[in-house]
Structure 1
Amino acid sequence: MSDNVAHALAGAGGGIISMVVTYPLITVGTRLQVQRNNKDAAAYAGNMDALRKIVSQEGIAGLFSGLESAVFGAAVTNGVYYYFFEAVKAAFERASQRKSMSTVESMVSGAVAGAMTCIITNPIWVVNTRLTVKQKKKQQEEGEAEKAPSTINAFMEIIKEDGVLSLWQGLIPALILVINPIIQYTAFEQLKNRVERFRKLGSLDFFVLGAISKLCATSITYPYILIKSRMQLKQSKNENERYKSLVDGLRKVIASEGIAGLYKGIESKLLQSVLTASFLFMSKEALFSYAIKLLLLLGARKSLAASK
């Protein structure tokens, strides 16, 4: 057992904390991303309008629809990502005999970790995306909000209605979006290395560096994030609303909603992404020492030290 296990545990814990803190912003952003008809009476005019309508129609609980699957997804996603990222990083450092990675090495580490994370966790985010928007559809169809189905029920319903492979809907844009964590973690590692030349980093430094790196990544990749969210929904029988591929999705959004349609909900997404990354990096670093202590209590610390 090696340090990447401790990094995975700390990353999972950091992912849970950041997810819970920022989840209402995820709900607002996702609802806006999947909204196609802006002229409908129930359509959200913007972030604040979406927030107001969700609370008035579904209560505060509506802002947390699908939180159960999101917390699980955040823990698994960040655990898997940090495990593979730190494993590849350690391999590069052993090979080069350096304590920090080059920009190219950071990008390769991010690509490997991101690809593995996408393949393993895509079913979780398909379930979460559908749970996040399900409450609004129920409310529109029946005139009143219903209790959201559990994660397990939603999971089984997707398999029953659409088949097992539907759990990997949106995987291609998700894999392309590996560029998001590549940009994020490469920027973070390089900024961290520069600051560490002058002083030791503290919690506030990790918070700020996490914010800067995520702001860059999300701003560049947002149109792909929007298409991925729509592809993860149950696909419409309407040919104009069914996305056959990433390119097809981009073309249809531009044709029906204009260029601005590719950036629906970007304000809440940027705020959520920046805060999530900030809390994630800050809490992950703080939790790492506790993860080491946990492995020690479990009797894994001897193996951990021996593997260095």
Structure 2
Amino acid sequence: MSDALINGLAGAGGGIIAQLITYPLQTVNTRQQTERDPKKSKRKLGTIERMCQVANQEGWQHLYGGLKPSLIGTAASQGVYYYFYQIFRNKAEAAALDKLKKGTGDGSVGMLSSLVVAALSGCVNVLLTNPIWVVVTRMQTHTKASTGQKTFENPSVALDEAIVAAVEPPPYGTTHAMQELYDEAGILGFWKGVFPTLIMVSNPSIQFMLYETLLKKLKARRASRNKGTVGVTAFEIFLLGAVAKLGATVVTYPVLVLKSRLQAKQVTGGDKRHHYKGTLDAMMKMIQYEGLAGFYKGMGTKIVQSVLAAAVLFTIKEELVKGVRLLVKKDSNVINVVRSASR
């Protein structure tokens, strides 16, 4: 099994577990990002208050709206990202060693090279998985209030049927979200927000650059103090992942809000302030009607969710990689022993 495949599968597994743990926070954060009420007098609910509000008014299941496609998207995104990241990383390490042989460099991958590797991996990931995340955003921002009430042209329809239809709208599932998106914008609608999403590639790029840099420094310090021992504990990886994600989130959060606005269901009638024709139009309307503060809606929730998710992902991913490599090594040893005995 190749190292890239091991990292891809481990990243997918870690991403799924992190997603399951932090999904309600992600749903609340997406709703905060897509709120378009410019009234400043309205009291802003905190993260816990908002979660309780959704649970009381819509049911706990709405905190997990879009979970199934999200898990598929997470597995696909993390798998694709880590697979290509390891491939590009291997090439960067080989190039660094070639430079060392030629008398330049120290043989290690620098910060710029790490940034480029992460950016390339992110671009491949975005282009392949963006349709999944558009559907997930639609499902996370869907509320009972946003479901159009059924109208009856035939007056002979039973009153109780009309009441049931109004109170209990049909379930809003993945197929419904996909059909709604296709009716609204055609096949290209599944790539809504792809440009700000490509810009958001800088988030994991910055995250991985910080993570690799901090990990490298920690190993170097430990090696100098402990005579060559460079082992890193799971808790230390947890902290490094959290710090790296915190820095990346603070820098790129406004672009994340813009992406969510474009991917959420568009308001086609009524107040044109809430209808975005594209990335630039969304930016201008947000600045005009909400000010710069609009680009930071729900940032506190996002920091908690993303930092926790990243820390869990890094920890589980690294442990899975270690476990798989150990199993592969044991299998190789067993095969070698069998071959030697048969000779």
Matches within 5 A, 1:2-81: 2-37=2-37, 39=39, 45-81=45-81
Give the match for residue 283 of structure 2.
Answer: 250
Which deviations, in whole Å up to 9, do the C-alpha atoms of 1:125-183 show, x marking residues without a partner?
00000001113444696875656433244224422443111000000000011111111
Which residue type is aligned with residue 112 of structure 1? L
Matched, 1:119 2:127: yes
* Residue 314 of structure 2: aligned partner: 281
CA pair 242-21 structure 1, distance change in 2 beyond 3 A: same
CA distance in 1, matches of 2:328, 2:255: 38
**What is aligned with 2:239?**
208
* 2:89 corresponds to: 89
- Name the aligned partner's letter for residue 285 of structure 1: E
Tell me what 1:305 maps to. none
1:132 aligned residue (111, 132, 140): 140
Write the distance in 1 (CA, Å) between the matches of 2:133 and 2:25.
16
Q: Which amino acid aligns with 1:105?
A: S
Kindly state the Cα deviation for residue 58 of structure 1 after the two structures are TM-superposed. Answer: 1.7
Q: Secondary structure at the match of 2:109?
A: coil
Deviations 1:61-88 (A, max 9, x none): 1211111111111111110110111100
Q: C-alpha displacement at 1:259, in angstroms?
A: 1.6
Q: TM-score scaled to structure 1, two decimals? A: 0.88
Q: Does 1:272 align with 2:305?
A: yes
Does the Cα contact within 8 Å between 1:81 and 1:117 map onto a contact in 2?
A: yes
Q: What is residue 254 of structure 2 aligned with on the other side? A: 223
> Could you say which structure has the larger radius of gyration?
2
Is the CA contact 1:139–1:145 (under 8 Å) kept in the aligned structure 2?
no
Q: Which runs of 5 or more residues in structure 2 are unaligned? A: 98-105, 150-164, 223-229, 336-343
Contact 2:10 2:317 in 1 (8 A): yes
Partners of 2:192 and 2:232 lie apart in 1 by 40
Q: Residues 243 and 294 of structure 1: is their aligned pair in 2 closer, same or farther, counting only changes over 3 Å?
A: farther
Distance 2:40 2:177 in 1: 27
Unaligned runs of 5+ in 1: 303-308
CA RMSD of aligned residues (A): 2.8
The structural deviation recorded for 1:248 is 2.8
* CA gap 1:157/1:250 in 2 versus in 1, 3 angstroms: closer
Does the CA-based 8 Å contact 2:38-2:289 persist in structure 1?
no
- Distance apart, 1:260 and its partner CA: 1.3
Whole-Å Cα distance in 1 between the matches of residues 38 and 292 of structure 2? 14
1:107 and 2:115 aligned? yes
Letter in 2 for 1:131: M
